[in-house]
Amino acid sequence: MVSVADFDQAVGQTFIVETNGKMVALELSAVRRIANSPREGGGFSLLFKGPREMLLPQATYHFVGSELAHDIFIVPISGDQTSYTYEAVFN
C-alpha cells in the first residue's frame, strides 16, 4: 500500500508518466496530510505540476521516479499560463 512516507522526501522530484506514446514529466510539488482519515497510516494528497503543452485527463497513470514507481489516479485541478496542476488523493 502506498503511504505518505513514500512521498515525503520526494517533493521536488520529477516523475515520468507515459500516455499515448509520449513521456510527460510531472514534478511532485506538495504532499498534504488529510486529518481524520480512516485510511491505515493516514490519508494524504499529492500535488503534481505538469507542462502546459499537454493536459492529462483524469485517469490512472504509471509514475516512475528515481526510486519510486506507482500507479496513481490523478485529476487536473487547475492550470495557468505555464503549467497544469494535478491532484491524487489517498483517503
pLDDT score recorded for residue 86:
98
How many angstroms separate the CA atoms of 62 and 35, rounded?
Answer: 27
| Cα distances (Å, whole numbers) of residue 7 to 21, 44, 54, 79 | 26, 10, 24, 23
Per-residue pLDDT tens digits of the chain, which is 91 residues long: 788 888 888 899 999 998 888 999 999 999 999 988 889 888 999 999 999 999 999 999 998 876 778 899 999 999 999 999 999 999 9
What per-residue confidence (pLDDT) applies to 68?
A: 74
Return the H-helix or E-strand segment holding 69: strand 69-79
User: What pLDDT, on a 0 to 100 scale, did the predictor assign at position 66?
Assistant: 64
Domain ranges of the chain: 4-90
